[in-house]
Structure 1
């Protein structure tokens, strides 16, 4: 039987730093604190649409949107897109929906954007689920390809990136590669990847992450259990959420386990709220 708590799909005409956008978003109303989802590179807002299939989260409003240059969102100047630009876009989307305080979930590129958002506005973020978002230089295994495989031709770089993803020995990599060309505009790739590498190498993301006062969970696929910092962040109070049968993409490889971890974490956050 279909869920009574479905979502609405909208297009938001916005201007961010002088750039015209048309941002595609999914949202739902509710009585509890909203959950804001930021997708990863090569993914879309639909990664999180199955929140409506989670009875335990039925009373939470939510917002998920396609980043500029991704999915159904349009951008008048793809060369302006970077992680800081995506942060400003997220702030405009939150403003549009009147979201003040919220739970935050971000994957990969979206996890990095979410971290900067939580660091800049700590009083607004109630909790943070970081799904393999960048917190250290070693996390740039996708984005650092902009350095390792240099090309002046955006289309040529992106085509080669897609082929490398297709052949990567990790869960869901071929599935991920199959839709990349449909989900990302090639002209947006360089600015996103270069800013991800720069921030990961130079912006003390680990210090920002560990400095957050809200409850934090770091989710990772079992194929990435060798990330060097996992014991370190756990020792600093971060809840670890390993996902079995999974690499970098729990929403593709093991969505049932991903949602169960999010549901369990929200229950912990609710029980800790005075």
Structure 2
């Protein structure tokens, strides 16, 4: 019996700054406003594949892909991978699928990458869902381990990182840790983490986030409701969404809540952006 394919699984091959890439993606077409998903460190495009299970997203084109060094994607030089490099990768793939304007959703590392794209190319973004992406130095609880637990051997650091994560007292940490060895190459870790820490400490991410003119949501697990900036960003017009029974990974701990919150936020954003959406051809 043949199985209906609810999305396309494609490979995109291209070169960024002299580095050969083969990027594995899932995507589909549709007539409504597209959605671009960027996964976090140690995760993959499949974090977002369940969008096809939710009828509320029917007829929305979407794109998710494995970042270089993650999942099924290949990179000829893992040491080149950083947040600015990931920005270029994202923009190249978005262009390949011909998404001119889109809702942007990013988790953790993907949230930081998405923020940099939204800051530089606001005309492309209809709304931004930031799922615990870095906007302040305190967000580097995973990436700052590259400094806190300095180790010259990349494989040894990665093994120790996996074990620390496995025993973290947060929802879904052990589940996340169990697949890290299969989802990310150790050679990609150092430059990704160093880039995330540098940007979080020195790139004034908070001003970039608050300066975005389109609707924006910050989603976080209830175990992280002690983030010091939550009241501030809410007072500046950011929609907050606290995910119950959740740490850093709502797509693992409470996916129905996550998907419902994203849908509700994007629908509200489309009402605010209706003039632009009609201009883009997503509203008739």
TM-score by shorter chain over 0.5: yes
Q: Secondary structure at the match of 1:257?
A: helix
8 Å Cα contact 2:35-2:102 kept in structure 1: yes
The 2-side partners of 1:125 and 1:263 are apart by 16
8 Å Cα contact 1:5-1:52 kept in structure 2: no
Aligned to 1:46: 46
Aligned to 1:189: 189
The alignment's TM-score, normalised by the length of structure 2, stands at 0.94
8 Å Cα contact 2:126-2:270 kept in structure 1: no
Q: Secondary structure at the match of 1:85?
A: helix
Q: Please list the CA deviations of residues 11-36 of structure 1 after superposition, one character each: whole Å capped at 9, or x if unmatched.
A: 11111111000000000000011100
Q: Please list the CA deviations of residues 252-274 of structure 1 after superposition, one character each: whole Å capped at 9, or x if unmatched.
A: 00000000100111110122223
**Ranges in structure 2 where 5+ consecutive residues have no aligned partner:** 276-284
Distance apart, 1:95 and its partner CA: 1.3
Q: Secondary structure at the match of 2:179?
A: helix
The alignment's TM-score, normalised by the length of structure 1, stands at 0.98
Q: Please list the CA deviations of residues 154-173 of structure 1 after superposition, one character each: whole Å capped at 9, or x if unmatched.
A: 00000000000000000000
Q: Secondary structure at the match of 2:123?
A: coil
8 Å Cα contact 1:225-1:242 kept in structure 2: yes
1:212 and 2:198 aligned: no
The 2-side partners of 1:102 and 1:18 are apart by 28
Q: Secondary structure at the match of 2:10?
A: strand
Aligned to 2:278: none
1:73 and 2:104 aligned: no
Output aligned runs, 1:1-274, within 5 Å. 6-272=6-272, 273-274=274-275
Distance apart, 1:4 and its partner CA: 7.4
The 2-side partners of 1:53 and 1:4 are apart by 13
The 2-side partners of 1:5 and 1:61 are apart by 14
Q: Please list the CA deviations of residues 223-255 of structure 1 after superposition, one character each: whole Å capped at 9, or x if unmatched.
A: 000000000000010000000000000000000
Distance apart, 1:134 and its partner CA: 0.1
Q: Secondary structure at the match of 2:159?
A: helix
The 1-side partners of 2:85 and 2:99 are apart by 19
Q: Secondary structure at the match of 1:64?
A: strand
- How large is the Cα RMSD of the aligned pairs? 1.1
8 Å Cα contact 1:36-1:64 kept in structure 2: yes
8 Å Cα contact 1:220-1:241 kept in structure 2: yes
8 Å Cα contact 1:5-1:58 kept in structure 2: no
Distance apart, 1:5 and its partner CA: 7.9
The 2-side partners of 1:18 and 1:261 are apart by 40
The 2-side partners of 1:48 and 1:214 are apart by 23
8 Å Cα contact 2:105-2:131 kept in structure 1: yes
Q: Secondary structure at the match of 1:37?
A: strand
Q: Secondary structure at the match of 1:123?
A: helix
8 Å Cα contact 2:13-2:22 kept in structure 1: yes
Q: Please list the CA deviations of residues 188-227 of structure 1 after superposition, one character each: whole Å capped at 9, or x if unmatched.
A: 0000000000000000000000000010000000000000
Q: Secondary structure at the match of 1:217?
A: strand
